[in-house]
Structure 1
Amino acid sequence: MAKQSILVVCPGRGTYNAPELGYLARHHGGRAELAAFDALRAGRGAPTLSELDGAAKFSPALHTRGDIAAPLIYAASYLDFLSIDRDRFEVVAVTGNSMGWYTALACAGAVSGEHGFAIADAMGVNSQKHAPGGQAVLVLAGEDWRVDPALRRAVDAAMVRHGVLPSIHLGGMLVVAGSKAALDALEKDLPGLSRPPLRLAGHGPFHTPLMAESANAARASLPATWFGRPEVPLIDGRGKIWRRFESDAESLWDYTFGHQILAPYDFTTAMTVAIREFAPDRIVLLGPGETLGGAIGQVLVALNWLDIGSKDAFSSRQGEDATLIGMGRPGQREYVV
């Protein structure tokens, strides 16, 4: 039987929440890679992933902190990737959202699994080094998951008026960043949205020039020698495809700790390029959570991919012959492992 082609998507921050507590133990307990990650953290006196994942209760103050969330999410996603049945599925491309870029590097083979973990672990710490500011999520899509261009223009104009910067283009959503005062002023000046803006607790002004200190720390401590050419095509937050025989390791390092930190991350474009260029049979969203599923669905609707032209069409397709497989969703995970 011919293998099915899959696009692998690596999730970012905000995907390890209370329902995901115990994810590593449930799905990856006893794996040598998890033991290696634990040893790396124990070696620097940090709580191990097994200890954090095995806590009796989820603590928002602890588990959503950058230096805790990033390594937990990386480990869950990377080990999910290793669990995919390669006898049945061929990975034709890999991409990720925001912090998921570090996981994507390892899944694509541009860095080793342990170096990818070390990068995610270090960037979880570095992400807390930034100028004052935070992020908010604006839901621009309507009930049909489509975005009204006039609404988008009005939001962009309000952002300019108050000095708020785009952070992540996320399907029918836009993550914005800026100082607290700027975000406060923007919220009062926004046109009517389907939902109120959501401030992301514990998040800095990621993917903006306000993260310069984080970028400088990464360049100083995470060497370019860890990077190589990806083994499978890797799509970054601009939509650029890094192919095995066309990629330069130094340039990949420079993007990862430069543009990727300091400029907007366009997940919408990354997904659009990946889907159009590689036309995968399925899209596999790695765990731990599934909050990125809606954004992926909104990209499919915008492209009218496989005649998925609305939220209802997406839901119908998922019920009949799912295009998107979420490894963090019971009932779908079993399809690919």
Structure 2
Amino acid sequence: GFVYGMGLVRGLIGTGVAENVLLIGVETLSRIVDYTDRNTCVLFGDGAGAAVFAGCGAEDGILGVSMHSDGVLGDLLEVRRRDVAGVSRHRGRARPLHQDARQGAVQGRGARDGGEPAPGARHRRAFAVGPRPAHPAPGEPPHHRRGVRADGAAREQGGGQHRSLREHVLRFDSDQPRRGGARRPRRARRPGRLRGVRRRRHLGRLGGALDGAGAEARAGRRPRRRSERGQVKLAFLFPGQGAQSVGMGRALAQRHAAAGAVFETADRVVGFPLSRVCWEGPEDELRMTAIAQPALLAHSVAALSVLEQAGIRPAWVAGHSLGEYSAAVAAGAIPFEDAVRLVHRRGELMHRAGIEQPGTMAAILGLDLPAIEALCAEASSQGVVRAANLNAPGQVVISGEIPAVERACEIARQRGAKRAIRLAVSGAFHSPLMGSAAQGLAASLAATSFRDPQCPVVTNVSAEPVTGAAELRDALERQLLGAVRWEESMRWLLAQSPDAFIEVGTGRVLRGLLRPLDSTARTLGVDDPDSLAATLSALGAVPARGMA
């Protein structure tokens, strides 16, 4: 298709119709080809390209285009409408721009069609254009139809070439006669060609954009595989504190009844209009730990409820700090109401611990973990400080007492850190300064009923999946004092080769953290109705009845 487009570009610029042309070509053959069939994926894949063409010297540029088509579908190469840009007029009649369908590939610098240019050939800018043929005599078929369909002599003369080309095509595409009108038994269809396409689309087929197996092979990873039933394998990611923003969840709740019911439940459980703070602010109130945590949970579960209504469910879940409670809800390990009570209590305990033992946190960018551990050890003379959030390569958050954190930031700048920024938090989370909060949270977790997760939950403290109720409760208890090993958690998930990662809830922070680990990973998000529609479209999901 791109080669054909270059032929059109040559004609447009060579005839003076256009001075500059942007050519864009896209192939999404994976929508109709089973990519797991290794006999076809190496021949038919997805791709996209673009180029801007302009005039240049007469000896440069595209000097010839030849497509090697057999001419049977020559009518498709004509522009018949008189009002289409690019149709030249000759003696009051519209002469369609046409490319001879029997010609063959693109020739580059220094080449000519069949050797030297014909006498009288002229060049327009960078493109060699042959002499304009004379207008056909009365009763003679138009030039643009010669050799394609109207000129029987020309077709007969090239018949042998046409037959051999057709046989060549049929060797590689056994479906071609069926598309041309011939019928044959269904069992004779080439294995892997159109198999189960309709079923996959309704089960969440990702379409062409997810076929990154070639890039994965070059990166040394095994290709992503779908389940035996054709369903895609998805990893749900849930954001933590700091992602909150005024207005979050409002549009989703207004558009979808399931999302609105989640916010109503959260309002009832916490005993105040949490949804009003989420949707209207003020921002200072929403930033408070005891409010931000249940608010983020409510938004994530509201987005989750709409995904579930569309039949989209995860194969794995993970949440960043607070987001691990959202992940537990998504895995079916904790009822939503119990999760709201837990995170509301967790926020209150963490805020109180921050008052009892003041501390802060800071993000350090551009240094690896060993270097940060070394500077924390050096700054520990000023108090408690440690690596708390291991987010991504070159992005680590430290936590501890204020003098120690400030000293660690100074050392980081001296040792070449790109940035060392204090965060606006109410305490030193994920550090020993949260000891009193951890004790109170342990009692609340013990009083909460847990079920075995329906899918693995990749926990912060171990960066490994858990599948039992007791293991998950223990991980949530240890999380408040332990580091969030997010980078390792994402590396584990990437090793499972999910078809896509979906960030469920507020913002794009987690997708940004995933990019340095694997720039080819497919990432989606559900934050509002627009992002929901985009995600469902990418997954090929059919909205459930009643969904907007």
TM-score, structure 1 as length reference: 0.81
For the structure 1 residues 154 and 221, does the alpha-carbon distance in structure 2 shift closer, same or farther, using more than 3 Å as the test?
closer
Unaligned runs of 5+ in 1: 141-146, 301-313
Aligned to 1:192: 416
In structure 2, how many angstroms separate the alpha carbons of the residues matched to 1:199 and 1:228?
Answer: 38
CA contact (8 A) 1:3 1:89 kept: no
Task: Kindly report which structure 2 residues correspond to 1:115-264, keeping only aligned pairs within 5 A, or say none.
Answer: 115-130=338-353, 131-140=357-366, 152-163=369-380, 164-172=385-393, 173-190=395-412, 191-195=415-419, 197-237=420-460, 238-243=462-467, 247=468, 249-257=469-477, 259-264=478-483
Which of 294, 308, 318 aligns to 1:95? It is 318
Structure 1 residue 106: Cα displacement: 0.7
CA contact (8 A) 2:430 2:484 kept: yes
Task: Kindly report which structure 2 residues correspond to 1:12-161, keeping only aligned pairs within 5 A, or say none.
Answer: 12-17=240-245, 21-29=246-254, 30=257, 31-42=260-271, 47-55=272-280, 58-84=281-307, 89-130=312-353, 131-140=357-366, 152-161=369-378
Q: Which amino acid aligns with 2:250?
A: A
Which of 524, 533, 543 aligns to 1:325? It is 524
Unaligned runs of 5+ in 2: 1-199, 201-229, 537-548
Secondary structure at 2:473's aligned position in 1?
helix
In structure 2, how many angstroms separate the alpha carbons of the residues matched to 1:250 and 1:94?
Answer: 17
In structure 1, how many angstroms separate the alpha carbons of the residues matched to 2:447 and 2:454?
Answer: 17
In structure 1, how many angstroms separate the alpha carbons of the residues matched to 2:369 and 2:434?
Answer: 25
Please give the per-residue CA displacement for 1:154-193, whole angstroms capped at 9, x wherever unaligned: 3321111112201010013101001110011112211122
In structure 2, how many angstroms separate the alpha carbons of the residues matched to 1:110 and 1:89?
Answer: 18
Q: What is the aligned residue count?
A: 293
Please give the per-residue CA displacement for 1:176-220, whole angstroms capped at 9, x wherever unaligned: 00111001111221112222x121112421112211111111122
- The answer to which structure, 1 or 2, has the higher relative contact order (CA under 8 A, 6+ apart) is 1
Question: Between the two proteins, what is the percent identity of the paired residues?
Answer: 23
Secondary structure at 2:262's aligned position in 1?
helix
Secondary structure at 1:128's aligned position in 2?
helix
TM-score, structure 2 as length reference: 0.51
Q: Which structure features the higher share of helix residues?
A: 1
In structure 1, how many angstroms separate the alpha carbons of the residues matched to 2:528 and 2:511?
Answer: 10
Secondary structure at 1:265's aligned position in 2?
coil
Secondary structure at 1:94's aligned position in 2?
strand
For the structure 1 residues 329 and 37, does the alpha-carbon distance in structure 2 shift closer, same or farther, using more than 3 Å as the test?
closer
The CA RMSD over aligned residues, in Å, is 2.1
State which structure, 1 or 2, has the greater radius of gyration over its C-alpha atoms: 2
Structure 1 residue 50: Cα displacement: 1.9
Structure 1 residue 335: Cα displacement: 2.8
Structure 1 residue 331: Cα displacement: 5.3
Secondary structure at 1:54's aligned position in 2?
helix
Secondary structure at 2:243's aligned position in 1?
coil
